A = this chain, B = another copy of it.
């Protein structure tokens, strides 16, 4: 039913190994040099590949870095730790760990900055990185609803809007903590963040503790 060469085109086929080598070299260069000093010539050299090979496959530095960074986020998984709070903490810690890596740090924000003036690039980021991780929010909500921690959705439109809002809050907070405040999003911070996300700033002290297992904090109100 299907040819062995799917796109049965003439000519020498592109080397699959080159793609892998180039993306790995890009991440290595991001670690060593950061985004602004990364040059495509250097990436090509590191990958053992000619510059033309690189330009044949990627339009430029931005597209290349998006693909190189996107692979980092594919290892994110939503753990099942028994409660919504624990699940969130788990996935946020994973996200923070990825963002702490130098190849992600420098590259991610740089391409986001570039994307403010390049619609195609923004779409690429969304398709390669953002939308692929929204699944985690969806899974988490479904699991929490199955457990009875959250009520079911009354309205599909509303539900989608909420996914986006939560994603912006979670991703935004971790990114801001890591890159702008430049402090580690460690266990303690993640617990505080999760607590605030779940029960809010105005929560009365008596409310949450029976759900959140956080004995270290006596019971002070938020803010």
CB pair A141–B223 under 8 Å, yes or no, is yes
CA–CA, A208 and B125, complex, Å: 36
**Binary B-proximity of A188-208 (CB < 8 A = 1, otherwise 0):** 010011001111111101001
Residues of B with C-beta under 8 A to A110: 109-110, 113-114
A86 proximal to B (CB < 8 A): no
A1 proximal to B (CB < 8 A): no
A154 proximal to B (CB < 8 A): yes
CA–CA, A126 and B181, complex, Å: 7
Find A172's partner among B154, B166, B175, B223 (CB 8 Å cutoff): B175
Residues of B with C-beta under 8 A to A172: 169, 171-177, 180
Residues of B with C-beta under 8 A to A154: 220
Q: Known contacts A150-B201, A154-B220, A168-B181; can you find 16 more A-B pairs with CB under 8 A? A: A84-B202, A106-B113, A110-B110, A115-B179, A115-B182, A164-B183, A166-B201, A169-B176, A169-B196, A169-B197, A171-B180, A172-B174, A175-B175, A196-B200, A197-B201, A200-B200
